[in-house]
Structure 1
């Protein structure tokens, strides 16, 4: 949940619009996403990513144990979309974002953390193109981005932002449905057990007549 004292950030509508006009190139498998992020670091604050940062990026966007081609491709798309959002002048100039950047040790460190957090939250939940083509998907990604960025949507307090995030979070809604199904199954099992017990008690009473 966002901290109660979290700073207000960009307007959610502005972030959603930025996603709606994301360049189609970001979905091309030929895009070298680590290079894109490295270029973004230079543009943000002149940082040149060191070997460790580049290796971490490559590892997160490559195949490994438990990863699938689809998951890797989606992580690349999401990192590309995060980079697109960070490049937005309205995001970079926002007072709340700039304050969080400073608290995080600089724009590049902040950007790398956001680029890692958003895919971790969203990978595997939707088809790649949905993140820019569907209203509800843009809402989910925009809110995930602002949460990872450490700011609240402009005009929202922390409690409201949290409630609205839970309302659009595919992962949360999926887990909620599963939890409800488990509870329903337990209730039905208990009902069957009680009915069976009553039937046995009734049978025992009848046998004693």
Structure 2
């Protein structure tokens, strides 16, 4: 089997990630929270990486735009950092393997910071990510999936199916597709009914 088609390694349990989210400090939701500094400090803690000033400035610009989306991105980045800080989440061999594929722990963390915020921004009120069971499930699964690992005890197909079941974007798109399909079916039924009525009228006129 080719390496790029191999199943991702096993990561932490979903329960561990969900529990970690439930204990997120309230400071992460404060507007003055400096998540850029948190990212920089976390990179140093993970593997001694000192992030370049220009990359931090870009991140700070993205997160400090002052609009609602930027506020939500800051919260999501803070929650990602909170998860990565947990040794139970980042310390397993599967996570170390996934991190090594991306060039090290700090690169892995930075990829998660970017991917999670872009995937989940604007989908839920900020505090729902830690207060609601279904929101914690979605964020936990997004974190593991985008981090290149499977929830411990789940195979790739099972993890994928369970992700689709909780993904707000997928479920929203599914509802839209079903609505479009239903509208097409109704339109077809109306067209067939009109054709039947036309044919019946033509037969009646021939008598």
TM range (shorter): over 0.9
1:191, distance to aligned residue in structure 2 (A): 0.2
Q: Deviations over 1:39-67 (max 9, x none)?
A: 1111111111113321331243143xxxx
CA distance in 1, matches of 2:164, 2:6: 16
> Does residue 104 of the first structure (1) align with residue 102 of the second (2)?
yes
Partner of 2:58: 56
Normalising by structure 1, we get a TM-score of 0.93
Task: Give the 3 Å change call, closer, same or farther, for CA 44–123 of structure 1 in structure 2.
Answer: same
Q: Which one scores higher on RCO, CA 8 angstroms, separation ≥ 6?
A: 1
Q: Deviations over 1:47-97 (max 9, x none)?
A: 11113321331243143xxxx822111111000000000000112211100
CA distance in 2, matches of 1:195, 1:19: 55
* Contact in 2 for aligned 1:4/1:159 (Cα 8 Å): no
Partner of 1:199: 197
Partner of 1:38: 40
* Contact in 2 for aligned 1:11/1:153 (Cα 8 Å): yes
SS of the residue 2:161 aligns to: helix
Q: CA RMSD, aligned part only? A: 1.5
Unaligned runs of 5+ in 1: none
Q: Deviations over 1:145-165 (max 9, x none)?
A: 001110000000000000111
Partner of 1:84: 82
Partner of 2:133: 135
Normalising by structure 2, we get a TM-score of 0.94
